[in-house]
Amino acid sequence: MANLKAIRQRIKSVQSTQKITRAMKLVAAAKVRRAQMRVLAARPFTKAVVRVLREVVGEVSPIDVQELQLLTRRDVKKVAIIVLSSDRGLCGSYNTTVFREVISRISKLQAEGKEVSLILVGLKAVSFFKSIKIEKLKTFTLLPAIPSVEEAKLIAGFASDLYTEKKVDAIEIIGTDFISMLRSEVITTKYLPIDLPPAEVKTQLQPIRLFEPNIIDVMERELLPKYIQNVIYQGLLEASAAELAARMNAMTNASNNARDLIAGLTLVYNKARQAAITQELLEIVGGAEALKG
């Protein structure tokens, strides 16, 4: 009977866990739909910013471009990597895949003789790289569940200051691109200096744009800051959607595993209960035979 009691307790424990994983799955499923809509809504704006930059590039001479600090290139001796992770766990291999790519990138850069430092976004990244001896320039944790432009500005402002003050010679972003509910991809993006998209060849009449006070000033104060902020913002949106999708899939798998485990434990419990009943019947019959004798 002690064995039956232990199995019953185990079944109840797994059932309680299954209720939690099912609830988390439903919450993640509801959130990931909204996150997907935010990602899809933000992508046209990103394309529009790139398109405007592309058109402006065609109107700026290379000499004028050299005046813009965010476009200035120099010998790369120190690289900063912005790592986009999550604040919470229970999302499968989402964070592990990102960290694996970061470690690989660090090893490659160090093999080239370059110094590497990190800008960590998310508690999971802070926890993972805590024991790794590498410089951490800044950490951003406990960010809002829904990425906002304000936090993107904060990260982009810190990164641009690092570059313009020549504390680092290049900045990269390693995060996750949301592709579908079942698929995401870890990508490395060259962030600073900005790689300006090549100017398109004008095959038709284009509207005339007037920039006040001048095109260089507008690029420095408006276009380039908005571009680098939007790259971070888009990265945060993509990472958020990928994280929620990973959590939904992880909780789905956990719920299915709990269901299979409950079925297996129930079978074991029924067999043990049947064996116990059979043993009691045999004892009763044996006792009755003994009394007859």
DSSP 220: I
- Greater confidence (146 vs 116) lies with 116
What's the CA gap between 111 and 181, in Å, rounded? Answer: 36
Q: Say how far apart CA 141 and CA 196 lie, in whole Å.
A: 31
| Per annotation, catalytic residue among 14, 35, 79, 91 | 91
Percent helix, strand and coil across the chain, each to the nearest 5? 60, 15, 25
Q: What is the pLDDT of residues 40-62, one digit of tens each?
A: 888 888 778 777 776 776 666 66
All structural domains of the chain, each given as residue ranges with its CATH number in brackets, are 26-195+210-249 (3.40.1380.10)
Nearest to 151 by CA among 140, 161, 135, 137: 140
pLDDT at 18 over 70: yes
Q: Tell me, what's the pLDDT at 192? A: 87
At 206, the pLDDT band (50, 70, 90 cuts) reads low
For residue 183, what pLDDT is reported?
A: 87
pLDDT band at 205 (very low <50, low <70, confident <90, very high): very low
229-265 pLDDT, tens digit per residue, is 989 999 999 999 999 999 999 999 999 999 999 999 9
Q: At what angle do helices 149-164 and 224-292 cross, to 10 degrees?
A: 120
pLDDT value of residue 3: 82
> CA angle, corner 280, sides to 277 and 282, nearest 5?
110
What gap in Å lies between CA 68 and CA 61, rounded to an integer? 12
Does residue 221 surpass a pLDDT of 80?
Answer: no
Percent of the chain with pLDDT over 90: 44
Give pTM, 2 decimals.
Answer: 0.83
Number of H helices and number of E strands within the chain?
Answer: 7, 5
Residues 6+ apart with CB under 8 A from 197: 50, 53, 54, 57
pLDDT of 213 strictly over 80: no
Number of other CB atoms surrounding residue 292 within 10 Å: 6
Integer CA distances (angstroms), 71 to 28, 42, 74, 98, 202, in order: 40, 24, 10, 28, 24
Q: How far apart are CA 124 and CA 236, in angstroms?
A: 15
Residue 91 annotated among the catalytic residues of the structure = yes
Residue with tokens 């990973």: 246
pLDDT score, position 274: 85
Residue 110 pLDDT > 90: yes
**Quick check: 290 pLDDT over 70?**
yes
Res 61: pLDDT: 61
Please identify which residue in the block is written with the tokens 């994983």: 21
